Amino acid sequence: MRLEPKPAPSLAITLLFPLAAIATTLMLTSILVLAAGASPLSVFYLVAKGAAGSQFALLETLTRATPLIFTGLAIAVAFRAKLWNIGAEAQLYIGGVVTVVLGTGALPLPSAILIPVIMVAVMAAGALLLLGPAVLKTRFGVDEVVTTLLLNFIILLFVSMLLEGVLKDPMGLGWPQSQKVIAEAQLPRLIQGKRLHYGFVIALVSAVLVWVVMKKTVLGYEMRAVGHNPEGARFVGIPVNRALMKTALLSGGLAALAGFSEVSGLKGNLTLDLSPGYGYTGIVVAMLAMLNPLGVIASAIFVAGIFVGADAMSRAARVPSYIADVMVATSLLTMVVAILLTRFRIRWR
């Protein structure tokens, strides 16, 4: 069996492949639905209805998509430069920590100043957290996959320590949770009385900004060159290590914004269940978008829809909601195969 390169496909074909990947995923996961004794068609219908069947469902999906856009962007940026940041989960939590440290009354500022100040500090914290593994990679040759993965566990324990110590809400009835952020530090709701908040708008703006950086700036060019061929990039005079550092700063900062947006826009305080794995799901979001920052918006909404829809479905049908996690993981694998097939033809002899 051999792989033969083929000419770049047209845009229509390129867009067709993610759809083929999703169709394959649905076929594979319907086996599991059958194993649960339910009908795949009705279960998938219930998932779709739960994700987008009403105004409430749609808003809930967009709310769930918000942190995924941030983590998806973080991964897309990093993976483009082949910096394997699997630590978005930790960066997200650090973002949450900085939000409650600055947002619970330490800075008595009006909203218009306080929120940007918190955002800058949050991004700086997330950026620094990824800078460590990036320096270890470039200076010592330590694989960043393992360091970022291990940091996820360390940071989660660190947050647990803070929530049972200095950040613990004295009025929290003993629960490990922080105080609520003050009104000035809250992102307002987009629609009165609904959960969707301005974090979603910030996420959309971030996606556009990241797209501009990737396509139109020298940094974006350097990142793509480093990801494509580090030796070649070094040969033509691109400062590879510096480009990787900048990538790490951008990626860590974006992932941390997910934590800020969840605390400031949705939850109000920091708890240990701020994220049900948004950092890891961001990898799937980024891959489904083929690492395109604008595509991340669509794939984050799609993935969020699966989770929101599966929650609603599992209440109606007796199929565990973990089916959503299986669908998302399967779609990651079918998607990488689909991307391969856009570029290569498989010859069996």
173 makes contact with another protein (CB under 8 A): no
CA distance 311 to 61: 11
DSSP secondary structure string for all residues of 121-189: HHHHHHHHHHHHHHHIIIII---HHHHHHHHHHHHHHHHHHHHHTTTB-TTSTT-SBBPPPPGGGSPPB
Q: Which stretch binds another protein (CB under 8 A): 95-103, 156-164, 202-210, 216-224?
A: 156-164
HSE-up (13 A, CA, CB side) for residue 69: 29
Which CB sits closer to another protein, 6 or 216?
6
Candidate residues 157, 191, 218, 316; the one interacting with another protein per rule CB under 8 A: 157
Q: Is 300 in contact with 118 (CB distance < 8 Å)?
A: no
Q: Which stretch binds another protein (CB under 8 A): 61-69, 136-144, 195-203, 228-236?
A: 136-144
CA distances from 184 to 106, 120, 159, 322, 341 (A): 12, 16, 24, 37, 50
Q: Which stretch binds another protein (CB under 8 A): 112-120, 159-167, 227-235, 299-307?
A: 159-167
198 makes contact with another protein (CB under 8 A): no
131 makes contact with another protein (CB under 8 A): no
73 makes contact with another protein (CB under 8 A): no
| Contact pattern from residue 308 through residue 327 relative to another protein, giving x for each residue in contact according to CB under 8 A and a dash for the rest | ----------x-x-xx-xx-
Which CB sits closer to another protein, 125 or 328?
328
Candidate residues 161, 191, 205, 212; the one interacting with another protein per rule CB under 8 A: 161
Task: Region of 325 please: left (phi>0), alpha (psi -120 to 50) or beta.
Answer: alpha
**Closest by CA position to 52, among listed 43, 38, 42, 62:** 62
Candidate residues 20, 124, 149, 182; the one interacting with another protein per rule CB under 8 A: 149
**Contacts (CB under 8 A) with another protein, residues 82-121:** 84, 86
> φ and ψ at 347, to 5 degrees?
-105, 130
Which CB sits closer to another protein, 7 or 165?
165
**Contacts (CB under 8 A) with another protein, residues 7-36:** 32, 35-36
Number of residues that bind another protein (CB under 8 A): 47
**Closest by CA position to 339, among listed 40, 12, 4, 16:** 16
296 makes contact with another protein (CB under 8 A): no
Q: How far does the chain reach from its first CA to its final CA, in angstroms? A: 5
> φ and ψ at 247, to 5 degrees?
-60, -45
**Closest by CA position to 313, among listed 26, 57, 86:** 57
336 makes contact with another protein (CB under 8 A): yes
Candidate residues 5, 141, 193, 237; the one interacting with another protein per rule CB under 8 A: 141
74 makes contact with another protein (CB under 8 A): no
1 makes contact with another protein (CB under 8 A): yes
Q: Is 42 in contact with 250 (CB distance < 8 Å)?
A: no
Q: Could you tell me which residues come within 8 angstroms of residue 181 by beta carbon, excluding any fewer than 6 positions away?
A: 99, 100, 103, 104, 263, 264, 268, 269
């009165």: which residue's tokens?
Answer: 192
Candidate residues 131, 145, 294, 298; the one interacting with another protein per rule CB under 8 A: 145
Which CB sits closer to another protein, 35 or 173?
35
197: which strand partners? 189
Q: Binding residues for another protein, per CB under 8 A?
A: 1-3, 32, 35-36, 79, 84, 86, 136, 140-143, 145-147, 149-154, 157-158, 160-161, 164-165, 280, 283-284, 287, 318, 320, 322-323, 325-326, 328-330, 332-333, 336-337, 340
